[in-house]
Amino acid sequence: MGMMDGIDVLVSEVGPRDGLQSIRPVMPTAAKLRWIDALVAAGVREIEVGSFVPAQLLPQLADTGEVVRAVKARHPSLHVAVLVPNAKGAEAALAAGADKLTLPLSASETHSLKNLRRTHAQVFEEVARIVDLLSAVPGGQRPQFEGAVSTAFGCTLEGEVADTKVVALAERLIALGCDEVGLSDTSGYANPAQVRRLVKAVHAAIGPERMTGLHLHNTRGLGLANVVAGLEVGITTFDSSQGGLGGCPFAPGASGNIVTEDLVFMLEAMGLRTGIAPEGLEAARAVLAEALPGEPLYGFVPEAGLPLGFRRAA
């Protein structure tokens, strides 16, 4: 892919949010900060550090406000992202000083009711409230606001999800005032042909600059194949999780974010710059493993090692 040589790709680490919310142990705040420090040292430029959901729903992320504040203080240039399910969460995210707010909207309304306990109409009301909140923030401090369409490639409860539905939801999110839209393969149903087709359809509807990111799972082993398809149609941001930690606890059978270590290896080997050093990820993985004793960590590259003579993208 000579045509893409040297292109910068943003690997957005979601382990501290998507990974930690999916496992039983609650990682202490100090351990989260050590892990995030190590990720930043490896060159990671964006991290989703938590989710502003009620502590009784996800005790693993109850310290999200504290984490955001501490991380912003330690790493001023890191793009600190958080998940916000509603306007209340967005208020907390604003107060903490997050750089990016991501609101999930499930294309499958069945999944939306199970996951967010809201209909599409109710989610749109929250989006409108958040846009109002953001409009009061002074320009330079206004965080980015992304609407993330989950189950965009199919749903474990509803099955196939029509492209037209995803496109319509993306259009609506932009119309309501989201800065951009992301697509999530929550169920691990996506295939490369579908990724190309759906991304193109969404780009045609809202403009390619409004949809730059994909959140892919490796549930059926197609995660990196889908990344390749995404790259071909102009996607430049990919979510991944160190050690493949996490997935979606509300979609039975669907687990497994794509593994940061494997994704970074692939992109760098392809000549695409991530800014992330594989050796640095190895060190961060050791910090993670120490903080989560007994928790399985995944990944092919951590097992097999880098190829002999491997060089990062120039």
Rg (CA), the chain: 18
Catalytic residue among 248, 258, 259, 266: 248
Collapsing DSSP to helix, strand or coil, 248 comes out as: coil
Contact status, residue 37 vs residue 74, Cβ threshold 8 Å: yes
Q: How far is the CB of 225 from its own copies (least distance, A)?
A: 4
Region binding its own copies by CB under 8 A among candidate stretches 1-9, 15-23, 58-66, 135-143: 1-9
Q: How far is the CB of 162 from its own copies (least distance, A)?
A: 12
Position 300 contacts its own copies (CB under 8 A)? yes
Position 259 contacts its own copies (CB under 8 A)? yes
Between CA 49 and CA 64 the distance in angstroms is 7
Please, which residue, 124 or 153, has the CB nearer to its own copies? 153
Reading the block at residue 44, the tokens are: 């990671």
Among 86, 115, 151, 156, binds its own copies (CB under 8 A): 156
Q: Which is it for the CA torsion 167, 195, 242, 110, positive or negative?
A: positive
| Residue 268, C-beta contacts closer than 8 angstroms, at least 6 positions apart | 274, 276, 278, 312, 313
Closest C-alpha among 35, 14, 60 to residue 291: 35
Position 151 contacts its own copies (CB under 8 A)? no
Between CA 262 and CA 119 the distance in angstroms is 36
Sequence-ordered strand ranges (E) for 6-140: 10-13, 46-51, 79-83, 100-106
Within 161-190, which residues bind its own copies (CB under 8 A)? Answer: 187-189
Within 189-228, which residues bind its own copies (CB under 8 A)? Answer: 189, 191-194, 196-197, 218-222, 224-225, 227-228
Among 14, 62, 80, 155, binds its own copies (CB under 8 A): 155
Position 104 contacts its own copies (CB under 8 A)? no
178 catalytically annotated: no
Among 19, 262, 284, 288, binds its own copies (CB under 8 A): 262
Within 9-38, which residues bind its own copies (CB under 8 A)? Answer: none
Between CA 311 and CA 75 the distance in angstroms is 27
Please, which residue, 22 or 219, has the CB nearer to its own copies? 219
Q: How far is the CB of 202 from its own copies (least distance, A)?
A: 16
Q: Which residues are catalytic?
A: 248
